[in-house]
Structure 1
Amino acid sequence: MLQTSVTNFKRGKNSQYRSREYLTADEMQRLMDAAENRGRHPIRDLTLLLLMYRHGLRASEAASLRWDAVLMDDGLLNIKRLKGSKSGVHPLKADELAVLASLKVVAPGQYLFPSERGTHITSYGIARLVKRCGELADLPFKVHPHMLRHACGYHLANQGFDTRLIQEWMGHRDIKNTERYTALNVERFKEIQW
């Protein structure tokens, strides 16, 4: 008699099942353009994707952002990291402040990204939004929220930022989590002069 056990099955890493784990800057722009031109909440959706990308936010971190974390006059965002990561304060760029000001008009409640039920958007809601925007942007692969976090790390590495600075920005406690962004950055070597 042949016996198989489901408990013996070990699923591989997500990266084994996906063609890529990050988005390029161009793909991010296409994703944000799709968010701005879809659905009932274009300002909310655009702001959500922009902040997730620029600040390396996880879906759960973005979902729970409250207006008291945004210091508009100082141009700062207090980020409460989850999963044992280090929280921090990030500066906001002028375009981020502009979309946040527009968002505040349509979402004046407690949360930056409200749901239609009066609470905040959920991680699952963000996953659906990101997936749909990826389809509308005609990206040739499935897009998931954590790709925006990775896009942030790779973007910073491509800009030549130091690994320790990227670690601090992303809230990583262990630099090994940050090294993935600099290890694959072949573009940096094109600038070497001999």
Structure 2
Amino acid sequence: MDIQKERQAFIEYLQIEKNASSNTIQFYEYDLNAFLEFLNKEGITSLFDVDYAVIRIFLTELYDRQLSRRSVSRKLSSLRMFYRFLEREGKIEFNPFLNISLPKMNKPIPEFLYEEELEKLFHVSDLNTSLGKRNQAILELLYATGMRVSECVKLSIENIDFSLGTLLVQGKGRKERYVPFGSFAQEALSDYISNGRNKLLAKSNHATQHVFLNAKGTPLTDRGVRKVLDQMVQKAALTIHLHPHKLRHTFATHMLNEGADLRSVQELLGHEHLSSTQIYTHVTKDHLRKIYNNSHPRA
């Protein structure tokens, strides 16, 4: 069996059949290449020769490099998927990664913003300028919908339904979902599109349906959104590190704290598995404990 040929076939399988995103494929390639380099160093020239003992040596090397349990777990998942593909294609009879348990990971409680911090951010943009209107719309929309920054920058004018107050979001793996947004986000988005976006677009010679544009009139990037948020934090004089995903965490945490059910939040966030959403229940449990301690006569 030609190792490089099977590697390429697996990547094509991810692209065509699994419809995986470019970022996901990049991670699989990175993990698979690291494993193939290990096999080459160990003098193992056939994928048939990979057994439990070989995998344990590989894991030992990973831990010796002081990789986090999350990184090790991801590599194991990638390789398990690769061998599952080989098994499906009839290239091997047994997946040696099946009996390798994934390392247990500590799930850190996601950081989120308190309402007082958000209020300060909502009042820093200069709404008399096109960029100020844009920045306000970005902040309102990220908090109102919990969308990923990659989904935000890909948002098109045609994907906004102001009459229903919903967005058609292009998520991971090209999966689409409808997400509602509230009156504050609608007002900010409408003001930006009506009174700010055209002025930015006029600075470019290229027409685009992307909602959010940079100062040159071209589509804003993930990095551009992060820069916008950094500037807003500085203007608000907050001592926090604000990245787009923290607004996603904040959206989920606030929704659950106010009584939203887990399944609904899962659908709004576009999580494939409920376990991805359950991490936010740690925060809400703390919230409920504080309410209990402050309210119950015999707490």
Question: TM-score, normalised on structure 1?
Answer: 0.81
AA partner of residue 229 (structure 2): V
- 1:38: Cα distance to partner? 9.6
Structure 1 residues 101 and 55, CA, compared in 2 at 3 Å: closer, same or farther? same
Deviation at 1:138, TM superposition (A): 1.8
Correspondence for 2:239 among 125, 131, 140: 140
Whether 1:61 and 2:160 are equivalent positions in the alignment is no
Residues 172, 178 of structure 1: 8 Å contact kept? yes
**CA 1:110/1:86 → structure 2, altered by over 3 Å: closer, same or farther?**
closer
Alignment of 1:4-153 (within 5 A): 8=65, 10=67, 21-36=111-126, 41-82=131-172, 84=173, 87-105=176-194, 106-108=196-198, 110-153=209-252
Greater CA drift, 183-192 or 109-118: 183-192
Q: Cα distance, 1:161 vs. partner?
A: 1.0
1:159 aligns to 2:264 (yes or no): no
User: Counterpart of 2:131 in structure 1: which amino acid?
Assistant: H
Q: Which moved more, 1:61-70 or 1:37-46?
A: 37-46
**Sequence identity of aligned pairs in percent?**
24
What code does the residue aligned with 1:160 have? G
Partner Cα distance (1:128, 1:163) in 2: 31
Q: What is the deviation of 1:182?
A: 1.4
The CA deviation string for residues 125-175 of structure 1, in whole angstroms up to 9 with x for no partner, is 111111121122122222111111111111111111111111111111111
Larger mean Cα displacement after TM superposition, 18-27 or 156-165:
18-27
Residues 36-85 of structure 1, C-alpha deviation per residue, up to 9 Å, x if partnerless? 46976111000001111111111111111110110122322111112x48
Deviation, 1:188, is 2.8
Q: Aligned with 2:125: secondary structure?
A: helix
Q: Secondary structure at the match of 2:277?
A: helix
Q: Please, which runs of 5 or more residues in structure 1 have no aligned partner?
A: 1-6
SS at match of 2:217: coil
Question: RMSD over aligned Cα, in angstroms?
Answer: 3.0
In structure 2, do the counterparts of structure 1 residues 74 and 181 end up closer, same or farther at CA, with 3 Å as the change threshold?
Answer: same
Gaps of 5+ in 2: 1-63, 71-105, 199-207
Using the alignment, how far apart are the partners of 2:232 and 2:147 within structure 1?
A: 17
For the residue of structure 1 that corresponds to 2:123, the secondary structure is helix
In the other structure, the counterpart of 2:288 is: 188
Judge which range, 49-58 or 133-142, deviates more: 133-142
Classify the secondary structure of the residue corresponding to 1:148: helix
Residue 104 to residue 168, structure 1, CA distance change in 2 (3 Å): same
Is the 2:214–2:220 contact (alpha carbons within 8 Å) kept by the matching residues of 1?
A: yes
Taking structure 2 as the reference length, the TM-score comes to 0.55
The letter of the residue matching 2:139 is L
Per the alignment, do residues 19 and 160 of structure 1 end up closer, same or farther by CA in structure 2, a change over 3 Å counting?
closer
User: What amino acid is aligned across from residue 121 of structure 2 in structure 1?
Assistant: L
Q: Which region of structure 1 is more displaced relative to structure 2, 91-100 or 37-46?
A: 37-46
Q: Is the 8 A contact 2:145 2:180 kept in 1?
A: no
* Shift in CA distance, 121/19, structure 1 to aligned 2, threshold 3 Å: same
